[in-house]
Structure 1
Amino acid sequence: MPAAPDFDTLFAAAAAIQPRAYAPYSRFKVGSALLGDDGAVYAGCNVENAAYPVGTCAEAGAIAAMVAGGGQAIRAILVFGDGAELVTPCGACRQRIREFAMPETPVAIAGPEGIRARFTLAELLPASFGPANLPR
């Protein structure tokens, strides 16, 4: 059984990349970091575009970095955002995470003060449609 994910490392990576987000329209910067099956930490930030809604979420950036780096699965993911409300992955990102993660994969939600909530992917995306639903 793999060791428990180091959420302190994921928090540090997401907090470091969040200020780099390109969010001139919403002014809402988000960072994300994930632990890949290869043991590497991959980070991403949101990147907006004047032609809404073709921007990219932080989670999508982290997933793209993982795939580009050779990782094939998400062992844990953390999303970092400001504000009073929890900054959980949007619906599209929940499905993106599902493509590379199992229902029991931990998803941590954080703000500047630290981790605010923890979920499993199944809690955020119950009865999900994933790779196993399609023949390969």
Structure 2
Amino acid sequence: MVTDAELFAAAEAVRAKAYAPYSKFQVGTAILADDGKVYVGCNVENAAYPIGNCAEPSAIAAMLAGGGKRIKRVYTTGPGAMPVTPCGGCRQRLREFADQDVVIISHGIDGAPLHQTLAQLLPHSFGPEFLGK
């Protein structure tokens, strides 16, 4: 069983590799998937701001490329004392691959981690089941 400490370490290791020359706000995400593996992603900025990637969809892409199908737990880290929660778009991306009771841990590394379920982060969400999936 992968521990939260191991997920934190994985998120922090990949956060150090983030490409954030514009915002200087490096974010790392570690996903525990249904196959028992941990997949990571970091934010990647671009001079044309809308083209950048957040850490969460980067980790989701790594999960899918590695053979994982469903998210079981998420740990996202960033700078500062406030919990670095997934943005609205990333919450919806997580919803595509995670059940509503999946725990999302958001951590500004100078503060305390925040544990919330996906349902708490994205209440009344729209998911694949609405489209008959």
The interval holding the TM-score normalised by the smaller chain is over 0.9
Alignment partner, residue 84 of structure 1? 81
Distance in structure 2 (CA, Å) of the matches to 1:109 and 1:73: 19
Residues 29, 59 of structure 2: 8 Å contact kept:
yes
**Residues 5-64 of structure 1, C-alpha deviations (whole Å, 9 max, x = no match):** 521111010011101000011010000001000000000000001111110000111000
Name the TM-score, length of structure 1 as normaliser. 0.93
Aligned to 1:59: 56
Gaps (5+ residues) in structure 2?
none
Correspondence 1:107-122 to 2 at 5 A: 107-113=104-110, 116-122=113-119
- Report the Cα offset of residue 110 of structure 1: 1.7
| CA–CA distance in structure 2, aligned partners of residues 115 and 42 of structure 1 | 23
Stretch deviating more after TM superposition (119-128 or 76-85): 76-85
Q: Which runs of 4+ in 1 moved over 6 A?
A: none
| Partner secondary structure for residue 105 of structure 1 | strand
Q: How many residues align?
A: 133
Aligned partners of 2:21 and 2:3: how far apart in 1? 32
The separation in 2 between residues aligned to 1:75 and 1:60, in whole angstroms, is: 15
What do the CA deviations read for 1:50-109 (whole angstroms, capped 9, x no partner)?
Answer: 111110000111000000001000000011001132210000000000000011000001
With the length of structure 2 as denominator, give the TM-score of the two structures: 0.95
Q: 1:93: which partner in 2?
A: 90
Contact 1:108–1:115, Cα closer than 8 Å, also in 2: no
Inter-partner Cα distance in structure 2 for 1:27 and 1:49? 12
1:23 and 2:20 matched = yes
Indicate the residue corresponding to 2:10 in structure 1.
13
Q: Structure 1, unaligned stretches of length 5 or more?
A: none
Do the aligned partners of 1:11 and 1:114 also contact (CA within 8 Å) in 2?
Answer: no
Aligned-residue Cα RMSD (Å) equals 1.4
Opposite residue 15 of structure 1, the aligned amino acid is E
1:104 counterpart SS class: strand
CA distance in structure 2 between the aligned counterparts of 1:84 and 1:114, rounded to whole angstroms: 4
